[in-house]
């Protein structure tokens, strides 16, 4: 029982005891007073009747008349006139008044007995008769019953008001305790809340101050770990001159984005080289050359801003060489990007940043999921060499084999995807996510989508997702997948994880539809987790609102492919995420590359400080698994523990 209920119950019991005692004392006092009044009433009636009978005691008719007159005018049980010389009964009147509205149990409880009085009737100096009067208590009982009801009603009203006011006062005084409970629950959800207004009660004030100090300390430790980890990430994976990613990060992402048959998307690799960097350094000086490289990096970021998939994939590999990995990009977009870069880079010459007419050359090479990263680099280098050898244009795009006709491909994908979305022609595939210490224990299953073509063959998501994004149909797929998953979960008791796209998060109608679907299955909240890719995260306020709404429906949220934006981990403490999935590019060959291990250890320390479980994606070798076990990573996902497959 809560402290509030205990105190409220104690107050109510105290009020009951106090009011009951007061009521009983008042009732007993009234009873004694009525007993005295009955006795006085009977004695007064006897005395008055005796005086009235003295001159008429020898007249039987007058005696009977006067007795009847007295008896009918009051509340008497009996009136008797007895001859003293012979003890003969001269006159007697007797009656039993009705109880009226007074209940029998009250009459028995009060026990108010009839009171009597007597007086002597004289004949001269002799005693002639005795008058005996007995007053009936029913009148007193009726008054006592009305008084008791009035007192009880008043006491109940006062008690109810006192209990209500006491409850309000207790709730107000104990409100800091409720907030401290919320603080504890928030810490369990990896949130840090502080009570800004301290209570006036000294005892509660000290407790709240201690709780706030603990929360602030935990938050400071978490932020310290976050800053240290972010510093390590910058030193390991960021170019100090341009602020872009460095070659080490580029190679990691190249291997992850190109060789992964499961999730990789076809796209283009762009290599850019500043011409004659050594000569520029001699002619312009080191400072101006560095400014030129920084300007080239800014132009690259500006030109790639229209292609969200290239976020965190723009790198300075070495010297004057830059690289952009663009998953999901098609030939037309690659050509447009090269042309836009050519114009913007030539503008650097016009502003006097360099004394050459063409600042850089660009080489483009396409890739498909499963290609060899080194072969792709070789093809892009060849395109770069051709671009450097020619005067105009300053870019070259080499294709592997015969490129499909863009118009036919666009039309074909549009028709195929539109029909598939309308007819629900998608199949659910599931990949297990298991505990690192016990590979037999499944934490949950990751839900993946497969497109069914006209022949019934499955098409991996990496091939059709870029086209869905171009057509603006990502939200349609999310809603269809969510409906299929919610229906499928009724057939088993396993936990699942389903991804939501950025398009769904940005569409209020689609997001409202997601809430409506989840609201229809509240019992599945403990078994279904929604995932968002790190590269698709909305603004912090939108993300917090999303987590609050999902939590109110009983569902939870998590992040996948985490690592490229580690600086935002400080904001994750306010979200109460279910878990965090580390991008597979940081996991691949972690047993051979020490810098990855150092970075993952930094993430693990920061996540451990807020009790946030970590799951490693794309674990493929026993060596990687052993390292992850040493670092106490809770879960793993990848080919080592299971390939995606239909539900058995």
CA dist 187 and 136 (Å) reads 74
In the predicted model, what is the mean pLDDT of residues 453-474?
A: 85
The number of beta carbons lying within 10 Å of the beta carbon of residue 490 is 10
For helices 286-303 and 331-350, the axis angle rounded to 10 degrees is 150
Q: What is the pLDDT of residue 432?
A: 95
Does the predicted TM-score (pTM) go above 0.75? no
Give the pLDDT band (50/70/90) at residue 343.
Answer: confident
Lowest mean per-residue pLDDT among 130-139, 373-382, 538-547, 590-599: 130-139
CA dist 625 and 603 (Å) reads 17
Q: Are 587 and 623 in contact (CB under 8 A)?
A: no
Q: Check the CA dihedral 169-174-178-183 and report its sign.
A: positive
Q: Are 535 and 561 in contact (CB under 8 A)?
A: yes
pLDDT 10s digits, 553-598: 999 999 998 876 665 666 666 677 889 999 888 898 899 888 888 8
Q: What is the pLDDT of residue 600?
A: 86
CA dist 63 and 55 (Å) reads 10
CATH topology of domain 247-397: Alpha-Beta Plaits (3.30.70)
With 80 as the cut, is the pLDDT of residue 228 above it?
no
CB-side exposure of 343: number of CA atoms within 13 Å? 7
Strand, coil or helix: 496? strand
120, 147, 611, 627, 629 from 594: Cα distances, Å: 124, 90, 25, 11, 16
Q: Classify burial at 249, counting beta carbons within 10 Å of its beta carbon; exposed 0-12, middle 13-18, buried 19 or more.
A: buried
pLDDT 10s digits, 194-207: 766 776 777 677 77
**Beta-bridge partner residues of 10:** none
What is the dotted CATH code of the domain comprising 3-170?
3.30.110.200
In the predicted model, what is the mean pLDDT of residues 508-536?
A: 92
CA dist 193 and 177 (Å) reads 14
Q: The domain 411-637 belongs to what CATH superfamily? A: EAL domain (3.20.20.450)
pLDDT 10s digits, 166-184: 778 777 777 777 777 776 7
pLDDT 10s digits, 556-566: 999 998 876 66
What percent of the chain has a predicted confidence (pLDDT) above 70? 89
Closest Cα to residue 139, out of 175, 110, 173, 98?
A: 98
CA dist 182 and 187 (Å) reads 9
Average per-residue pLDDT for the chain: 82
């Amino acid at each position: 029982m809560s402290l509030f209920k205990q105190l409220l119950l104690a107050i109510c019991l105290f009020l009951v005891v106090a009011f009951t005692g007061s009521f009983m004392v008042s009732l007993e006092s009234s009873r004694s007073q009525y007993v005295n009044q009955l006795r006085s009433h009977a004695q007064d009636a006897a005395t008055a009747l005796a005086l009235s009978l003295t001159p008429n005691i020898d007249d039987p008719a007058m005696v009977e008349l006067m007795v009847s007159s007295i008896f009918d005018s009051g509340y008497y049980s009996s009136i008797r006139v007895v001859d003293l010389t012979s003890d003969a009964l001269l006159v007697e009147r007797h009656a039993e008044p009705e109880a009226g509205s007074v209940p029998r149990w009250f009459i028995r409880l009060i026990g108010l007995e009839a009171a009597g009085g007597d007086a002597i009737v004289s004949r001269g100096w002799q005693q002639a008769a005795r008058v005996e009067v007995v007053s009936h208590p029913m009148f007193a009982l009726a008054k006592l019953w009305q008084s008791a009801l009035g007192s009880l009603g008043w006491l109940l009203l006062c008690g109810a008001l006192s209990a209500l006011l006491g409850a309000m006062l207790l709730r107000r005084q104990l409100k800091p305790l409720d907030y401290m409970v919320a603080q504890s629950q928030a810490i369990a959800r990896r949130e840090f809340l502080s009570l800004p207004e301290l209570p006036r009660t000294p005892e509660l004030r000290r407790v709240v101050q201690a709780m706030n100090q603990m929360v602030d300390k935990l938050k400071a430790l978490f932020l310290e770990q976050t800053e240290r980890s972010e510093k390590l990430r910058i030193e390991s994976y960021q170019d100090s001159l341009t602020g872009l990613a460095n070659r080490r990060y580029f190679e990691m992402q190249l291997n992850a984005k190109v060789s992964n048959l499961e999730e990789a998307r076809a796209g283009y690799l762009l290599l850019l080289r500043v011409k004659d960097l050594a000569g520029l350094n001699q002619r312009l000086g080191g400072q101006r050359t560095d400014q030129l490289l920084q300007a080239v990096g800014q132009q690259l970021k500006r030109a790639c801003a229209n292609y969200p998939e290239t976020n965190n994939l723009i790198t300075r590999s070495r010297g004057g060489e830059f690289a952009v990995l663009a998953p999901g990009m098609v030939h037309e977009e690659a050509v447009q990007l090269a042309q836009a870069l050519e114009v913007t880079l030539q503008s650097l010459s016009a502003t006097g940043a360099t004394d050459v007419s063409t600042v850089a050359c660009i080489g483009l090479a396409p890739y498909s999921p499963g290609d060899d990263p080194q072969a792709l680099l070789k093809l892009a280098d060849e395109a770069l060499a051709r671009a450097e050898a020619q005067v105009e244009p300053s870019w070259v795009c080499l294709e592997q084999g015969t490129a499909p006709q863009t118009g036919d491909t666009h039309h074909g994908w549009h028709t195929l995807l539109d029909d598939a979305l309308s007819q629900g022609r998608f199949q659910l595939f599931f990949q297990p996510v298991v505990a690192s210490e016990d590979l037999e224990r499944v934490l949950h299953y990751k839900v993946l989508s497969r497109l069914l073509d006209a022949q019934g063959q499955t098409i991996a998501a990496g091939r059709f997702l870029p086209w869905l994004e171009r057509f603006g149909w990502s939200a349609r797929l999310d809603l269809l997948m969510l409906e299929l998953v919610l229906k499928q979960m009724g057939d088993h008791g396993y936990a699942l994880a389903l991804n939501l796209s950025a398009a769904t998060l940005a569409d209020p109608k689609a997001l409202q539809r997601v809430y409506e679907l989840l609201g229809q299955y509240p019992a599945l909240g403990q078994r279904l987790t929604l995932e968002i890719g790190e590269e698709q995260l909305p603004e912090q306020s939108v993300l917090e609102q999303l987590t609050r709404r999902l939590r109110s429906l009983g569902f939870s949220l998590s992040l996948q492919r985490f690592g490229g934006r580690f600086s935002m981990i400080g904001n994750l403490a306010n979200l109460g995420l279910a878990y965090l999935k580390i991008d597979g590019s940081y996991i691949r060959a972690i047993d051979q590359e020490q810098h990855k291990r150092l970075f993952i250890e930094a993430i693990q320390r920061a996540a451990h400080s807020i009790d946030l479980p970590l799951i490693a994606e794309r674990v493929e070798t026993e060596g990687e698994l052993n390292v992850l076990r040493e670092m106490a990573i809770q879960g793993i996902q990848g080919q080592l523990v299971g390939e995606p497959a239909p539900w058995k």
